[in-house]
């Protein structure tokens, strides 16, 4: 131990350097990308996963997209780098949905690249679209930490994602959808996966009030901020007993208090699980952005592969894909056919649990324009 | 105990199920890390946490068995000079799995648009192989590179390793991202780097905001978090409308540019009437088999026609962006898709105007905001009129889907 | 002082402006009343308030001059046995205009559908000539006959006069309507009396409710007012959706009845494609020049096609009504158009089911409602699930435009 | 006086009779109406104001509609009765919008009836529609008491209605509109005229906080119910001084407190006036029911004829009538053209006053179906 302390690593002796910011993006751009920056003329879908991009100058590049598990080993990242060096002059990028995109100039390298990635990394090529022909791949699922890292999850993230994507694999690698469909997952109501505006989302929900351990609260928690963290005002300070009291009727099991105060754990293996939401979107294309709507209030956790969740997602996706018109995302499809038909076609049950009773949002919000689409 | 490549792995019957199936497996990634890191250590590499990935396998298997997380809240851990960027995390099975008793996350500010050279990526790998679990997320949901799992005492060396990566590793230096009640790491779609639809330079804007507001990004001092995201057009490929307090959505004001010859080419392969004309939300398009006409007064710039006919149609030339405010996830007042704060800012004024507004908003929010009140919720509480004064903007009908449905207007100026 | 027919009228230069123009003038009505009532009195008729209309002219002219009302809040005035039906009103210019110091309104329960014989109408006239100002509203906004302006001491005789109108005047007896925190006078569209669209008997329903709930109508004892309105079809000609806590909207469940021959007749004079097919909100209709086809699974029973082609189309045969709950004007929680509580009740069960529900709702509201809390607001406060239990209904997707957009569901049954 | 007391009227000596209810509607129905009750086959627009109704039996009746000022003298009502006796066998009705409808069986009597009503009563014939041909009359304005009878009005009712209808007279008597248009007026925010769901509405608004007369409050008011009446929580009891205190920033001048407590008058001649709302509707036809939206936050009272209000209403009506498609009510028209264009075409100004900030209504309401239109 002493010896080790003497042999300090250089990193341990350096003066902290702060606020220098991320690397400049320009040094990360492929020379052809840099040259044609802001001067792209058009793009064309080559095949699932591959897009050809043509610049005004006539230059051409190809982006080749692969699904990843998002949780990557640095050893995998190094393998990715090797491949990018071999095929892409050392340039690549990740997408906003956890996919990796290789940047190529030589079309002849595309197939070998795909083959090598599939073989070495097992990453499928796909996830793109051919808008002109209304042919869409499913893309990767935006997701969060779950049991891998977070302290508030009501479910795991990576495990459900893996199970769902295994089942929907062909939708990723082929153009099998009539329109864009985005699936997201967040492992608790904090919604780090931004499930509140996705075509299909899975969100972890607790269903039991936190168990208040008065001792632990006294020892470890700052009571005012714990009380303040509760969105529904279910918590009151109990100054005498130096703890908090909970109004069961007001609690909606969000776990916000638990984040502030480890003395009131929220998890409950038998009652934790996921809700399923659909019909959110954020693009302005055709139809304004929409918040997602709950269509399944709860499915219990069934690790390691959550078959009920997987089958429900698949059912929704396929019902939509079968019935939707071209370009019609779930929100637009339901808008056309009505929620009556959505429940009928998917076989999901509408219950009183699906009628909104969360009263914090003021109605004024309904009048605010949540879209950049308007007339001049 | 299964042994792979000479490395002993814990029994993980449940997790093993998640190695099956065609989609790439995160379990494989963790196992691979466990194996490779131990091998590397054995091979003489300096590696501080060779057992971390293995520890994660253990804790995760238990979580799968118990159907609950085994992580505890982290408290405040940090690196010198910074208040955010690290998520403290401890395992509640300290005795059983000491390898991951500490398992803090470091958020690394990614390059705008998530573009990388292999050199830059390797820097991350090298640093994290040595100072952390070897596990990452590419990327976190806000956009950062997530370095998953290290001990408190390695946070600072790890940060130093990244900061001095050029000197130490011949690599590319990386700085830390946001967490806590600060500006979160801004993000941007690939924009002009690869996309012909970009109506402003998303990468530049994102980089500028990040650099100007390093202090706000690194030192939490606000009522809550604040997110900025830059999308080059209304397709919104970083979901800025839903996921950022301040969303910058590229758009244009004049006429869609049409190449009629290219339209006719498309007409040979697709049905313009069905794919384009009928799908225009405002019925602004007509097509007579020869010429595509767009009534630009009716067009709401939804992008659909351009998306379908990218060779033939282009956004207009008078470009800029719409600013939406208030987007966020659910608490306290419910999930919000941001709403229009400024209908249009021309491209050449965009970054400066945004900075002016951001600074004014932060000042106001800092003063008026309650603990854990996002800026959108503050606006609801205080009223749009006050907010408009803060950002020095006039009301515009484009800020709303419809005017108010009640005449309960506050005439404050008459009642001083 | 202008003198007309020997009757002196006050100077009303401002009001006189409102005698001009083609639309019938309320000022003329008031003047006419002032003149005729004085004349009648002079002719020997028993008239208790010959100066009331003249007094109203004075007070109104002053209101026009001062740009403010000259009426004061009335306090509680009433007739024996009733708690509602009279709006107390006093003038704040007691000394100046004693004729209208008291100027109370009596609300008279109109016949369902506002159908009258001249005999019935004359009864009102005779009674009100004697006991009141001679001024009326046909009708009040809730639907009552409004008798505008009498003195406290004449309220009871006036009510008696109406109640015993058959014996006293050879007329038609009328009872008093609702006011205050009670059931308000229910109303109904003309329905089956004149309209071929009526999907249930609105007049009968309205009459039944009125008769069964005489006690609730006449004795305020609830947290606030409660309104019932009956419209025979979704055209909603009594604006029940917006103006009643409990709206009964006729509709049907099966197929629209089509007379193809009649459609073809219409096709000779109007453009079916433009007027009908294109305007169907769910695009459920097609027309090939010979036959009109309706996809009844897509039809949402909006009435448009039937409205345009009344000779050819008719609501289906499986008729009944949708119940909407909660409609009301603005306070406390804002204006509300009622929302679906029960998607469909068959016609033959309608009145009984409604009565069951009404009674259950009133009991619940009586117990749980706050002072000045309309039933819709109570439901918001308590939740739809509790309300559904009260009315003994299951949730139906037809109750909502869309499911909730947040997963913050209360699992009360798990947390007892 | 004494003599008078002795000579009691019969009405003064009778025992009160209660709860016998309104006359039965059946006795009010014209024999032909009664005979064909529930058996009408169809109707046909004959001319503005006149509808022909044909029963399955082949019987025919005509309803002839006339505008009224709603405020009627009993002497006018008697004249109406005389006419109804002459032409209609003594049967007539009023409509839900304050119009009077005569019920005839003989078509030859229609023109003489119209002539006689116009001459004797000055009531215009009109207010109906010819839906088949998409030709609509404007109907009467639903309205309220105003300065004629109420104690809380911010404006008069009958005076504005008369002024507006004088200006729009031809729209009542002729088919000049492409779709239904309902105008309503309420003289204060209580909205007795149900202005919250009309195509065009005029609503009286105060703009100054009530003036609290502490003495009067002490003398005449029940403080708890006054405080409870305030929808925004702007009032607090001041128990010491036995009065109430008002938070100016919270008050929205509704006058609800004044209804409870005459000690805090709300009216203010210079600041009272009207707001104008548009685009509400209640029928399910084509487009779901809508709440009205404020497009003019305030126009000051300018009696006796409120020219600014009249001109604004006319401008809105005519702009709509010129630009709307057939059957397209204001709500539907605006939905098609956008609010951007509404303000542009009408020349009205959009200001921050038109952005909603009334936060009482919960957003859950936006998800509730306010229409009987749905699929089975
Ligand atoms: C690479 C990426 C941006 C980035 O900087 O990372 C991207 C890239 C493109 N998007 Fe996107 N979008 C990307 C995330 C998004 C998102 C954000 C998200 O998913 O969270 C959205 C909004 C989602 C939503 O509305 O809920 C998004 C909504 C669109 C749309 C609108 C589609 C629609 O019908 O609503 C288009 C237009 C289209 O389909 O052609 C579009 C079109 C495109 C185009 C065709 C633009 C172009 O000219 O290149 C790109 C082609 C990629 C392809 O075929 O998938 N992109 N795109 C993101 C890829 C994510 C992935 O790996 O799958
Ligand atoms: C790592 C990440 C999820 C992921 O796996 O990618 C994440 C993880 C956490 N989020 Fe998040 N959020 C992450 C993106 C988001 C997003 C998405 C986004 O930024 O686009 C959202 C929704 C958008 C928004 O900001 O509203 C989000 C909304 C939240 C919230 C709810 C905030 C709210 O206003 O309602 C919380 C709760 C809180 O702040 O206490 C939260 C809290 C947390 C905490 C810090 C839990 C806690 O309170 O201790 C999580 C730490 C997990 C862990 O152990 O590592 N996280 N969080 C994402 C950040 C990675 C990155 O920097 O790139
Ligand atoms: C007479 C009438 C207006 C008219 O000129 O036609 C009327 C007159 C008054 N209404 Fe009303 N309301 C009248 C129909 C309505 C309607 C329309 C309807 O019933 O279809 C509404 C909107 C629908 C609703 O009920 O919400 C209506 C909503 C109100 C409100 C607001 C209620 C709320 O929940 O927000 C008040 C305020 C109150 O209750 O204190 C109110 C209060 C009043 C009072 C009693 C004022 C008061 O508080 O003292 C008014 C007495 C005026 C007077 O001096 O005569 N009046 N009131 C209508 C009743 C006549 C009748 O019986 O036929
Ligand atoms: C007489 C009356 C019912 C009553 O019991 O008094 C009535 C009678 C008729 N209405 Fe109505 N409506 C009457 C008030 C209403 C109301 C309530 C209101 O105005 O407050 C509405 C809802 C208003 C709204 O949506 O805001 C109403 C919305 C309709 C509609 C739907 C029109 C639309 O396009 O939205 C129709 C269908 C049509 O236009 O053919 C309709 C159709 C009719 C028909 C054609 C029904 C029939 O088969 O006879 C009647 C013809 C009258 C005509 O030509 O005006 N009636 N109608 C009411 C006449 C009021 C008046 O004097 O003008
Ligand atoms: S969604 Fe909840 S559980 Fe999942 S990472 Fe975010 S805060 Fe943690
Ligand atoms: S779980 Fe959420 S709602 Fe329940 S007490 Fe905790 S913070 Fe409040
Ligand atoms: S948001 Fe627009 S500019 Fe940015 S990548 Fe997507 S399509 Fe291109
Ligand atoms: S951008 Fe959208 S609104 Fe504009 S013309 Fe194209 S499809 Fe229509
Ligand atoms: S609501 Fe329907 S049934 Fe009643 S009068 Fe109107 S159109 Fe006829
Ligand atoms: S009633 Fe309405 S929805 Fe049904 S077919 Fe006719 S127009 Fe279409
Ligand atoms: S709207 Fe207001 S002022 Fe007019 S009658 Fe109703 S309560 Fe009185
Ligand atoms: S006017 Fe209305 S808001 Fe103002 S204090 Fe009185 S009740 Fe409250």
**What is the reported pLDDT for A159?**
98
Q: Confidence band (pLDDT; 50, 70, 90) for C94?
A: confident
Instruction: Verify whether the Cβ–Cβ distance B118 to A90 is below 8 Å.
Output: yes
Encoded tokens for B27: 């379990």
**What is the reported pLDDT for C361?**
98
**What is the reported pLDDT for D6?**
62
Place of tokens 């939740």: C383
**What is the reported pLDDT for A6?**
61
Q: From the candidates C301, C395, C407, which should be mutated to test the interface with A, based on the most A CB atoms within 10 A? A: C407
CA–CA dist C28, C19 (Å, integer): 6
Nearest CA-CA distance, residue C95 and chain D, Å: 18
Q: Tell me: the pLDDT tens digits for C205-260?
A: 999 999 999 999 999 999 999 999 999 999 999 999 999 999 999 999 999 999 99
Place of tokens 């019925």: B283
Which of A6-20, B141-155, B202-216 has the weakest average pLDDT?
A: A6-20
CB neighbour list of residue C147: distance below 8 Å, 6 or more residues apart: C105, C106, C107, C108, C124, C128, C132, C133, C135, C136, C158
User: A275: helix, coil or strand?
Assistant: strand
CA–CA dist D330, C315 (Å, integer): 26
**What is the reported pLDDT for D2?**
45
Taking the CB of residue A35, how many other CB atoms lie within 10 A of it?
12
Taking the CB of residue B124, how many other CB atoms lie within 10 A of it?
25
Cβ B179 vs Cβ B107: under 8 Å: yes
CA–CA dist D371, C339 (Å, integer): 7
Encoded tokens for C256: 């629209």
More confident residue, A3 or A93: A93
> Searching chain B, which residue's CA lies closest to the CA of residue D280?
B405
Encoded tokens for B99: 């390898």
ipTM of this model?
Answer: 0.96
Q: Tell me: the pLDDT tens digits for C335-373?
A: 999 999 999 999 999 999 999 999 999 999 999 999 889
Closest residue CA from atom 5 of ligand 8: B299
Instruction: Verify whether the Cβ–Cβ distance D355 to B380 is below 8 Å.
Output: no
D277 CB within 8 Å of a chain B CB:
yes
Cβ C193 vs Cβ C203: under 8 Å: yes
CA–CA dist C301, C294 (Å, integer): 11
User: D131: helix, coil or strand?
Assistant: helix
3-state helix, strand, coil in chain B (%, to 5): 40, 20, 45
CA–CA dist B320, B251 (Å, integer): 6
Ligand 3 binding pocket includes C229 (Cβ within 6 Å)? no
Cβ B173 vs Cβ B162: under 8 Å: yes
Furthest C-alpha separation in chain A? 76
Q: Is D15 exposed, middle or buried (0-12, 13-18, 19+ CB in 10 A)?
A: exposed
**What is the reported pLDDT for D138?**
98
Give the H or E element holding residue C240.
Answer: helix C240-243
The candidate with the shortest Cα–Cα distance to C313, out of D41, D179, D288, D58, is D41
Encoded tokens for B241: 């409308």
CA–CA dist D23, D16 (Å, integer): 17
- Any chains having at least 3 CB pairs less than 8 A from chain C are A, B, D
pLDDT surpasses 50 at A2: no
User: C261: helix, coil or strand?
Assistant: helix
CA–CA dist A157, B243 (Å, integer): 19
Q: How many helices (H) and strands (E) does chain D have?
A: 13, 14
CA angle B23–B29–B32, rounded 5-degree value: 130
Place of tokens 């971390």: B52
Cβ B277 vs Cβ B340: under 8 Å: no
Cβ B168 vs Cβ A10: under 8 Å: yes
> Searching chain A, which residue's CA lies closest to the CA of residue D365?
A363
Give the H or E element holding residue A238.
Answer: strand A235-238
CA–CA dist C344, D369 (Å, integer): 14
CA–CA dist B325, B413 (Å, integer): 26
Instruction: Verify whether the Cβ–Cβ distance A364 to D359 is below 8 Å.
Output: yes
Q: Confidence band (pLDDT; 50, 70, 90) for C1?
A: confident
What lines the ligand 2 site, CB under 6 Å? A 144-145, 149-150, 152, 190-192, 194, 259; B 87, 89, 105, 107, 137, 139-144, 146, 177, 185, 225, 227, 243, 328-331, 374
Give the H or E element holding residue A210.
Answer: none
CB neighbour list of residue C288: distance below 8 Å, 6 or more residues apart: none
Cβ B399 vs Cβ D352: under 8 Å: no
Taking the CB of residue A133, how many other CB atoms lie within 10 A of it?
14
CA–CA dist C120, C333 (Å, integer): 40
CA–CA dist C114, D162 (Å, integer): 23
Q: Confidence band (pLDDT; 50, 70, 90) for A30?
A: very high
The candidate with the shortest Cα–Cα distance to B222, out of B371, B376, B379, is B371
Q: What is the DSSP letter of C109?
A: -
Closest residue CA from atom 26 of ligand 1: A281
Q: Tell me: the pLDDT tens digits for A85-125?
A: 999 999 999 999 999 999 999 999 999 999 999 999 999 99
User: A32: helix, coil or strand?
Assistant: helix
Report the interhelical angle of D339-346 vs D307-323 (nearest 10°): 120
CA angle B375–B381–B387, rounded 5-degree value: 60
- Taken as a whole, chain C contains a residue count of 416
CA–CA dist D48, D99 (Å, integer): 13
A220 CB within 8 Å of a chain B CB:
no
> Searching chain B, which residue's CA lies closest to the CA of residue C329?
B406
Q: Which whole number is the average pLDDT over A306-314?
A: 98
Q: State the Cα torsion D308-D310-D312-D318 to the nearest 10°.
A: -150
Q: Tell me: the pLDDT tens digits for A187-210?
A: 999 999 989 999 999 999 999 999
Q: Give chain C positions within 8 Å (CB) of B335.
A: 405-406
CA–CA dist B27, A69 (Å, integer): 9
Cβ C247 vs Cβ C327: under 8 Å: yes
Cβ C169 vs Cβ C126: under 8 Å: yes
Q: Compute CA distances B403 → B397, C195, D292, D343, whole Å.
A: 8, 36, 9, 11
Cβ B238 vs Cβ A96: under 8 Å: yes
Q: Compute CA distances D244 → B415, C72, D213, D219, D226, whole Å.
A: 18, 20, 10, 12, 9
Q: Tell me: the pLDDT tens digits for B113-138?
A: 999 999 999 999 999 999 999 999 99
Q: Which whole number is the average pLDDT over A224-241?
A: 91
Mutation test residue for ligand 11: of D71, D149, D152, the one with most atoms within 8 Å of CB:
D152
Encoded tokens for C387: 């309300």
Q: What percent of chain B has pLDDT over 70?
A: 100
Q: Which whole number is the average pLDDT over A159-184?
A: 98
Relative to beta strand B228-231, strand B187-188 is: parallel
Q: What is the DSSP letter of A205?
A: E
Report the interhelical angle of D74-88 vs C26-42 (nearest 10°): 90
Q: Give chain C positions within 8 Å (CB) of A359.
A: 380
**What is the reported pLDDT for C98?**
95
Instruction: Verify whether the Cβ–Cβ distance C411 to A207 is below 8 Å.
Output: yes
For B395, the closest of D252, D271, D355 (CB atoms) is D355
pLDDT surpasses 80 at D5: no
CA–CA dist A83, B337 (Å, integer): 39
Q: Confidence band (pLDDT; 50, 70, 90) for D7?
A: confident
pLDDT surpasses 60 at D1: no
Q: Give chain A positions within 8 Å (CB) of D367.
A: 355-356
Q: Tell me: the pLDDT tens digits for D230-287?
A: 988 999 999 999 999 999 989 999 998 998 898 999 999 999 999 999 999 999 999 9
Place of tokens 């897009």: A51
Q: From the candidates A344, A345, A356, which should be mutated to test the interface with D, based on the most D CB atoms within 10 A? A: A356
Encoded tokens for C203: 């007049």
C163 CB within 8 Å of a chain A CB:
no
Q: Tell me: the pLDDT tens digits for C78-93?
A: 999 999 999 999 999 9
Ligand 8 binding pocket includes B313 (Cβ within 6 Å)? no
- Taken as a whole, chain D contains a residue count of 376
Q: Give chain A positions within 8 Å (CB) of B38.
A: none
**What is the reported pLDDT for D259?**
87
> Searching chain B, which residue's CA lies closest to the CA of residue A227?
B371
Q: Tell me: the pLDDT tens digits for B220-273?
A: 999 999 999 999 999 999 999 999 999 999 999 999 999 999 999 999 999 999
Instruction: Measure CA of the first residue to CA of the last residue in chain A; give whole Å.
Output: 71
Which of C206-210, C384-388, D7-11, D185-189 has the weakest average pLDDT?
A: D7-11
Give the H or E element holding residue C246.
Answer: strand C246-252
Q: What is the mean pLDDT of chain B?
A: 96
The candidate with the shortest Cα–Cα distance to C179, out of C79, C83, C71, C81, is C83
> Searching chain B, which residue's CA lies closest to the CA of residue D352?
B395
**What is the reported pLDDT for A3?**
45
Cβ B301 vs Cβ B340: under 8 Å: no
CA–CA dist A338, A322 (Å, integer): 16
The candidate with the shortest Cα–Cα distance to B66, out of B25, B45, B96, B103, is B96
**What is the reported pLDDT for D3?**
45
Q: What percent of chain A has pLDDT over 70?
A: 98
Q: What percent of chain C has pLDDT over 90?
A: 95
Q: What is the mean pLDDT of chain A?
A: 96
């Amino acid at each position: 131990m002493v010896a080790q302390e003497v042999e300090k690593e250089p990193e341990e002796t350096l003066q902290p350097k702060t606020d220098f910011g991320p690397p400049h993006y320009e040094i990360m751009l492929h020379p052809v990308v840099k040259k044609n920056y802001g001067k792209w003329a058009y793009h064309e879908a080559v095949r699932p996963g591959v897009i050809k991009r043509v610049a005004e100058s006539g230059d051409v590049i190809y982006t080749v997209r692969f699904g990843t598990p998002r949780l990557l080993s640095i050893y995998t990242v190094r393998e990715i780098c090797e491949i990018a060096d071999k095929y892409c002059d050392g340039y690549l990028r990740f997408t906003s949905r956890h996919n990796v995109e290789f940047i190529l100039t030589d079309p002849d390298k595309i197939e070998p690249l795909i083959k090598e990635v599939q073989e070495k990394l097992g990453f499928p090529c796909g996830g793109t679209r051919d808008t002109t022909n209304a042919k869409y791949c499913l893309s990767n699922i935006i997701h969060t930490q779950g049991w891998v890292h977070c302290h508030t999850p009501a479910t795991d993230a990576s495990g459900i994602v893996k199970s769902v994507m295994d089942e929907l694999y062909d939708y990723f690698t082929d153009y099998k959808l009539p329109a864009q469909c985005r699936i997201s997952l967040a492992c608790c109501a904090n919604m780090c996966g931004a499930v509140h505006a996705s075509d299909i989302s899975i969100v972890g929900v607790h269903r039991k009030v936190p168990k208040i351990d008065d001792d632990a609260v006294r020892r470890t928690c700052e009571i005012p901020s714990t009380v303040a963290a509760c969105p529904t005002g279910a918590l009151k300070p109990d100054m005498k007993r130096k703890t908090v009291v909970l109004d069961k009727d007001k609690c909606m099991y969000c776990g916000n208090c638990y984040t502030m105060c480890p003395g009131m754990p929220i998890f409950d293996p038998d009652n934790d699980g996921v809700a399923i939401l659909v019909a959110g979107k954020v693009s302005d294309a055709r139809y304004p952005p929409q918040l997602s709507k709950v269509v399944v209030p709860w499915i219990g956790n069934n690790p390691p592969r959550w078959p009920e969740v997987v089958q429900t997602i698949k059912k929704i996706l396929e019902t939509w894909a079968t019935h939707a018109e071209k370009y019609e995302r779930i929100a637009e499809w339901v808008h056309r056919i009505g929620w009556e038909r959505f429940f009928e076609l998917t076989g999901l049950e509408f219950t009183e649990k699906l009628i909104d009773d969360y009263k914090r949002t003021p109605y004024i919000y309904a009048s605010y324009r949540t879209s950049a689409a308007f007339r001049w | 105990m299964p042994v792979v490549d000479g490395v002993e792995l814990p029994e993980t019957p449940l997790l093993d199920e998640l190695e099956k199936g065609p989609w790439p497996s995160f379990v494989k990634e963790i196992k691979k890390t466990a194996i490779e890191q131990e091998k590397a250590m054995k091979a003489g590499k300096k590696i501080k946490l060779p057992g971390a990935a293995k520890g994660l396998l253990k804790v995760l298997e238990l979580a799968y068995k118990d159907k609950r997380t085994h992580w505890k809240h982290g408290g405040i851990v940090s690196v010198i000079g910074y208040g955010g960027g690290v998520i403290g995390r401890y395992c509640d099975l300290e005795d059983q799995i000491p390898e991951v008793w500490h398992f803090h996350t470091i958020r690394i500010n990614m390059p705008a648009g998530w573009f990388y050279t292999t050199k830059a990526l390797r820097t991350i790998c090298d640093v994290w192989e040595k100072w952390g679990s070897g596990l990452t997320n590419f990327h976190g949901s806000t956009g950062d590179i997530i370095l998953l799992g290290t001990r408190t005492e390695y946070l600072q060396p790890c940060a130093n390793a990244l900061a001095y990566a050029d000197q130490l590793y011949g690599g590319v230096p990386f700085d830390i991202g946001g967490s806590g009640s600060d500006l979160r790491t801004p993000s941007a779609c690939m924009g002009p780097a690869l996309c012909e639809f970009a109506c402003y330079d998303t990468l530049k804007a994102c980089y500028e905001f990040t650099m100007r507001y390093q202090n706000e990004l690194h030192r939490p001092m606000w009522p809550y978090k604040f997110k900025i995201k830059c999308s080059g057009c209304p397709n919104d490929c970083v979901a800025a409308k839903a996921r950022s307090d301040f969303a910058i959505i590229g758009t244009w004001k004049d006429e869609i540019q049409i190449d009629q010859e290219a339209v006719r080419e498309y007409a040979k392969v697709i049905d313009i009437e069905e794919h384009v004309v009928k799908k225009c939300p405002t019925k602004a398009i007509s097509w007579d088999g020869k010429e595509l006409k767009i009534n630009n007064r009716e067009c709401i710039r939804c992008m659909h026609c351009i998306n379908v006919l990218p060779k033939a149609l282009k956004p207009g030339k008078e470009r800029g962006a719409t600013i939406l405010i208030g987007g966020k996830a659910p608490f306290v007042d419910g999930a919000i898709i941001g709403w229009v704060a400024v209908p249009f800012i021309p491209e050449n004024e965009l970054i400066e105007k945004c900075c002016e507004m951001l600074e004014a908003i932060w000042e106001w929010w800092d003063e008026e905001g309650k603990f854990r009140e996002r800026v959108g919720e503050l606006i609801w509480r205080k009223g749009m009129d006050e907010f408009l004064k803060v950002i020095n903007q006039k009301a515009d009908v484009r800020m709303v889907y419809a005017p108010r449905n009640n005449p309960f207007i506050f005439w404050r100026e008459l009642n001083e």
